[in-house]
Structure 1
Amino acid sequence: MRDKIYTYFDVLNQHSIISATNLKGEIKYVNDQFCKISKYNEGELIGAPHSIVNSGYHHREYFKDLWRTIGRGNVWQGNILNEAKDGSQYWVATTIVPIIENKRVKEYFSVRIEKTEEMRLEKEKSFQERRFSQLFNHISEGVIVMKKMQDKFIITDFNHGAEKLDKKNKEEVIGREVSQIYPGTDSGGFTFYIEEAYQKGHASFPLLRYQDENIDSWRKGAFYKLPNDEVVCVYHDISEQINQLEQLKKYNEKLEEVAFKASHEVRAPVASILGLMQLIDFDDLSENNKTALEYMKDSVGQLDHTIRDIVKVSYDTEEGKELFAKLSDLKEHFHNS
């Protein structure tokens, strides 16, 4: 039995960082692994307080709790950031076991496993999760995360952008089926794209109109499948742009209508002006020339009236005002000729 104990300890000694301290925390024993990671030799460590490897990272209350626990004869476990002799730091997963004799704590035996790289990865993971969370909740686009369960897509996450766009609270949608929250999903064509993303990994919907009793809007976005089989929908509302396009379309149709009308009606007075101008003899203003000039002025008046119709629809714009001013100057020029 004694041989087995030594065998177990030898295995532990080869793969763990081991130390023993008295009740004051002074080091009584360290193994080679302790010396190797701390970069102190055995002579420097024996008799020294265990705080020789204290990095100063942890709050004092952290170690007070540690000492209270082991002082009562209980095992303490936790992660500690230590500092080596050269100033480098390393994390160790620590287990401290009080050695009790005659119902009293005699000394403390510590076993540690280095986890510097593991802690670095955990810290990086935590940082990435925080960064993702901030991005997820602060982008203006709506983001909905769904998971397929029994042939139904259940909402598992819902960002602030989606709350704002769809006027829904995150609490009321999490855990519910997509078609319950968005009853217009099927008729709008979104179900097809969700399933396509789930099957193929990605699906884009360039422009779709979503309608239900509470929402009527145009959407643009895409679906992505995550490694954990969740489907993410990233979208934004382009209803305002669509409405502007519809207004521009009507505006353009009106312009085309007026332009078509003007293109035919303007030709007649312009042709008349050009013809009458051929009759004017500027060397001798006869009665005929005077009459011709009067006809020309009337034609210019007709031209001005038609031109007013052309620019009426754009008069409120800066370009329209500029054009109207130029045309007014043109009219004044003809009247003064």
Structure 2
Amino acid sequence: MRKNIFWYALSILLLAGVLYFFNRSHKSISEHSRLMGVSYEVHSHFQKLYNQLYKAAILHPALIAAQKSAGTKQPFYIDSATIINQATLLQQTVEDSVNKKIATRLYALLGQEIGWLLNANLPDSMQAGQNQSHIDVFRRMDSLITAGIERTKFLIAYRTDRLNEVINHVRTLMIGFIVVIVASLLYTSLNFFNQRYKRRRGEKEMATVLNRMSDSVISLNKEWRYIFLNDAALTTHPQGRQATLGRLMWEVHPEIKESAFWESYQKAMTTQTVVEVESLFGPLNTWFSARIYPSYNGITIFYKDITQAKQAEQQLAKTIRELTDYKVALDESSIVAITDQKGTILHANDNFCRISGFNREELIGQDHRIINSGYHPKSFIRDLWMTIANGYIWRGELKNRTKNGNIYWVDTTIVPFRNDDGKPYRYVAIRSDITARKLAEEKLVQSENIYKMIASSIPGSVICILDTKLTYLLIEGKLLEQIGYSRQQLLGKQAASVLPADVYAESEPFFKQALAGNTVKRESHRTGYDFITRYIPLKDDKDEIFSIMTVSIDVSELKNAQRNIIELNRGLEEKIKTRTEQLRKSNEELEAFSYSVSHDLRAPLRGIIGFSAILQEEYGKQLDEEGKRITQVIIDNTQKMGRLIDDLLEFSRTGKKTIQKANTDFNLLVPGIIEELSPPEQRKIKWEIKPLLTAEVDASLFRQVWVNLLSNAIKYSRTKTDPAITVGCLAEDTQKVYYVRDNGVGFDEAYKHKLFGVFQRLHDDHEFEGTGVGLALVDRIVTRHGGKVWAESKEGEGACFYFSLPAEL
């Protein structure tokens, strides 16, 4: 390209030089031609003047006079005006400086001697020797004219030579220019054909290269017509190369103007800049990536199918979104920490900070010794590190310590991230808080002996405790082996994996109801035994179910009796009595067992309280604050257990006590109970006792009803500044309704169905003491009298407890 530019510039300079030379030569030839014309004209003027002077000089005056008188024409007559005019023309025409001087002198001499010339006969004068001075002037004019003629001839010859010289130069230059032009044309033609050959060969090579490319390439001229397609482009132009070349783009792809590509094509064509675009081309349902290169005569488009890459990109974006969602979910639900290979904490999420009590700045850069409780032995920690350092996942439970010294448990999974060499460079610890479960397990262990004692004391029974995943944690009772199972077979395993499919299918609905918080009963028959099973949910202090207990009692004899009663006719009354007596004895045994258990449990409780008191009195000084606190917790819980036993005994007595009805005046009974329940410091309660209807009831039992209801009202309203309790009665057609209303803390009505169950409480012990038996006792007493119990409340606004009795009572 640079070489061509050089030759183009050289040609232009050569042409300019030739034009300049021709211009100068043209001017020179024109000037010489003009001067030659002037010289010829001057020569003519000199010659004419010479002739006119000689004509004037050779005429005789007499002859002139005779001719004039005769009226004949004188062919040689020359007058002074003609001669003067001729001299004037000569003077005006001459340009040469020498001739100018000659013409000037000649004109002056003519003006001086013109009269003499016209009146004298020069030849005669010369013969006679007359007028010598005029003759000298004439001779001088003759000499001047002759000198002018010679000078003019010289100038004509000189101008002719110069003109011929210029013409020869022009001819030589023309020949040289023609030679140069011919040489240039030959060179240009050869170069043109060589360039065309190279261009065609380059185009073929370029076409070969482009056809070998995996990317599609098309070229369009400024009219948007196809001028090139490589082989790869034929996949998007199924009409073929020949059918496509020369056609308009929108004839081949009618929808192109509605796509994002058209705007980019126009931009590249208009702005002459390279444009890149990625978009989906709807008609082909394909993603393309295009790069448009503009040129002076159109555009060239390199494009390729990126559908798979786009789908992979979309899948990657989806995966990244999912991973982000997983991370958010993990951060929300779990305790997450990331450490380097040395155990230095690099990341701690909010849950980690919340449970440990440290802020993120305090954790980052530290290792996990900052939360080490010292509970686990060094061998345990060493095994943990050996596992993850070898690239394996470690799972286990860890006991940690918070910033303020509290203990918490976490279920932990530590996942090592390995580099290309297979060596861990990061550890991700994912934990969940299991403190509540561990505390529940500790409580479960504490109460396990009690459960074992209860189960072993009930003949023909089995008690099982299962966690929320239905894994057997405890099994006690001889009935287990009688129905074909062993303790080793079930302990530590899930019910679904060890029970026969049909047995588990029958039991599963009851397990689910118990896990939902309901106590349910089931009667079943297996391997010749009939038994009744109760599914009881066990809850922690937060009223959350942490396990369930199943109590199965062999009632084969009772069920056989029931079946025999159905099968026997009324004439078998004695046998029915026998079976009934057996049933009665079984019930008495159950009642006796409850009573016995309650009494038997008192002895160990008294021992615990006594030894704890001795520990406080005799060793209190040796105990630290934590030891004193634990001792006091033992005493408090043991006393609570004693109250619970008392309530159980009362509940048991209520169930078997014979009702002795009498006309009872509640207007006398209730004030006395209020006087007993309200010590002086609680006399600030505002009491409103409305008239109460008398009823035919067991006075001693209903005294317990009123005591429980009124004591609850006092207890749950004690946090109020101005407590108020109302006692009243409503008379209806078929029943009498009594109520106790307070303005205390109330309860959530969503849980009111739990109020009258044994051990069911809606408030924590640390807020309001109690055993959860009082309202169950109220319900049993009222129910035995043919009535019912219910309650209404708004949380924080108080509660109202109702019980009804039949009006005929």
TM-score range, shorter chain: 0.5 to 0.7
- Listed one character per residue, the Cα deviations across residues 201-253 of structure 1 (whole Å, up to 9, x for unaligned) are 31112x11122425742111211233545332221011121222333444556
Identity of aligned residues (%): 13
Query: Partner residue of 2:598?
Result: 307
State the 1:143 CA deviation.
3.2
Give the Cα separation in 2 of the matches to 1:31 and 1:38. Answer: 10
Question: Is 1:142 aligned to 2:366, yes or no?
Answer: no
Spell out the pairing of 1:153-192 with structure 2 (5 A cutoff).
Answer: 153=344, 155=346, 162=352, 165=355, 176-177=364-365, 179=367, 183-184=370-371
State the 1:95 CA deviation.
1.5
Give the Cα separation in 1 of the matches to 2:447 and 2:358. Answer: 35
Question: Is 1:77 aligned to 2:276, yes or no?
Answer: yes
Question: Is 1:244 aligned to 2:440, yes or no?
Answer: yes
Question: Is 1:30 aligned to 2:220, yes or no?
Answer: no
Question: Is 1:235 aligned to 2:423, yes or no?
Answer: no
Spell out the pairing of 1:114-129 with structure 2 (5 A cutoff).
Answer: 114-129=305-320
Query: Partner residue of 2:79?
Result: none
Query: Partner residue of 1:10?
Result: 208
Question: Is 1:225 aligned to 2:516, yes or no?
Answer: no
- AA aligned to 2:274 is V
Pair 1:246–1:91, CA change in 2 (3 A): same
Q: What RMSD, in angstroms, separates the aligned Cα atoms of the two structures? A: 4.7
State the 1:305 CA deviation.
9.4
Pair 1:31–1:323, CA change in 2 (3 A): farther
- Structure 2 counterpart of 1:209, from 385, 396, 399: 399
Pair 1:8–1:212, CA change in 2 (3 A): farther
Give the Cα separation in 2 of the matches to 1:55 and 1:234. Answer: 55
Query: Partner residue of 1:285?
Result: none
Q: Alignment partner of 2:398: what SS?
A: strand
Query: Partner residue of 2:287?
Result: 91
Give the Cα separation in 1 of the matches to 2:337 and 2:248. Answer: 60
Give the Cα separation in 1 of the matches to 2:373 and 2:655. Answer: 59
- AA aligned to 2:655 is D
Structure possessing the higher radius of gyration over alpha carbons: 2
Give the Cα separation in 2 of the matches to 1:129 and 1:97. Answer: 35
Name whichever of 106-115 and 184-193 sits farther off: 184-193
Pair 1:74–1:245, CA change in 2 (3 A): same
State the 1:323 CA deviation.
8.2
- Structure 2 counterpart of 1:329, from 646, 651, 655: 655
Give the Cα separation in 1 of the matches to 2:335 and 2:656. Answer: 54
Checking the alignment, whether the CA contact within 8 Å between 1:94 and 1:110 is kept in structure 2 is: yes
- AA aligned to 2:232 is Q
Give the Cα separation in 1 of the matches to 2:441 and 2:334. Answer: 21
Give the Cα separation in 1 of the matches to 2:233 and 2:437. Answer: 67
Checking the alignment, whether the CA contact within 8 Å between 2:219 and 2:227 is kept in structure 1 is: yes
- AA aligned to 1:138 is A
Give the Cα separation in 1 of the matches to 2:390 and 2:413. Answer: 14
Spell out the pairing of 1:271-286 with structure 2 (5 A cutoff).
Answer: none
- Structure 1 counterpart of 2:249, from 41, 48, 51: 48
Checking the alignment, whether the CA contact within 8 Å between 2:371 and 2:401 is kept in structure 1 is: yes
- AA aligned to 1:236 is S
Q: Alignment partner of 2:273: what SS?
A: coil
State the 1:74 CA deviation.
2.2
Pair 1:162–1:68, CA change in 2 (3 A): farther
Pair 1:132–1:306, CA change in 2 (3 A): closer
Pair 1:324–1:240, CA change in 2 (3 A): same
Structure scoring higher RCO (CA < 8 A, sep ≥ 6) equals 1
Pair 1:28–1:4, CA change in 2 (3 A): closer
Query: Partner residue of 1:282?
Result: none
State the 1:114 CA deviation.
2.7
Pair 1:92–1:219, CA change in 2 (3 A): same
- AA aligned to 1:183 is I
Name whichever of 242-251 and 88-97 sits farther off: 242-251
Checking the alignment, whether the CA contact within 8 Å between 1:194 and 1:231 is kept in structure 2 is: no
State the 1:28 CA deviation.
4.2
- AA aligned to 2:248 is G
Checking the alignment, whether the CA contact within 8 Å between 2:356 and 2:371 is kept in structure 1 is: no
Checking the alignment, whether the CA contact within 8 Å between 1:76 and 1:96 is kept in structure 2 is: yes
Checking the alignment, whether the CA contact within 8 Å between 2:410 and 2:431 is kept in structure 1 is: yes
Checking the alignment, whether the CA contact within 8 Å between 2:356 and 2:402 is kept in structure 1 is: no
State the 1:38 CA deviation.
5.0
Checking the alignment, whether the CA contact within 8 Å between 2:264 and 2:276 is kept in structure 1 is: no
Pair 1:323–1:132, CA change in 2 (3 A): farther
Pair 1:222–1:308, CA change in 2 (3 A): same
Query: Partner residue of 1:197?
Result: 388
Give the Cα separation in 1 of the matches to 2:647 and 2:205. Answer: 98
Give the Cα separation in 2 of the matches to 1:238 and 1:153. Answer: 24
Pair 1:153–1:21, CA change in 2 (3 A): farther
Gaps of 5+ in 1: 263-299
Pair 1:173–1:69, CA change in 2 (3 A): farther
Pair 1:185–1:305, CA change in 2 (3 A): closer
State the 1:158 CA deviation.
5.4
State the 1:144 CA deviation.
3.2
Q: Alignment partner of 2:370: what SS?
A: coil
Checking the alignment, whether the CA contact within 8 Å between 1:315 and 1:321 is kept in structure 2 is: yes
Q: Alignment partner of 2:249: what SS?
A: coil
Checking the alignment, whether the CA contact within 8 Å between 2:357 and 2:403 is kept in structure 1 is: no
TM-score by length of 1: 0.60
Give the Cα separation in 2 of the matches to 1:129 and 1:233. Answer: 21
- AA aligned to 2:335 is G
Give the Cα separation in 2 of the matches to 1:185 and 1:9. Answer: 73
Checking the alignment, whether the CA contact within 8 Å between 2:384 and 2:394 is kept in structure 1 is: yes
Checking the alignment, whether the CA contact within 8 Å between 1:138 and 1:160 is kept in structure 2 is: no
State the 1:135 CA deviation.
1.6
- AA aligned to 2:249 is A
Give the Cα separation in 2 of the matches to 1:159 and 1:67. Answer: 52
State the 1:116 CA deviation.
2.3
State the 1:121 CA deviation.
1.8
Higher fraction of helix: 2
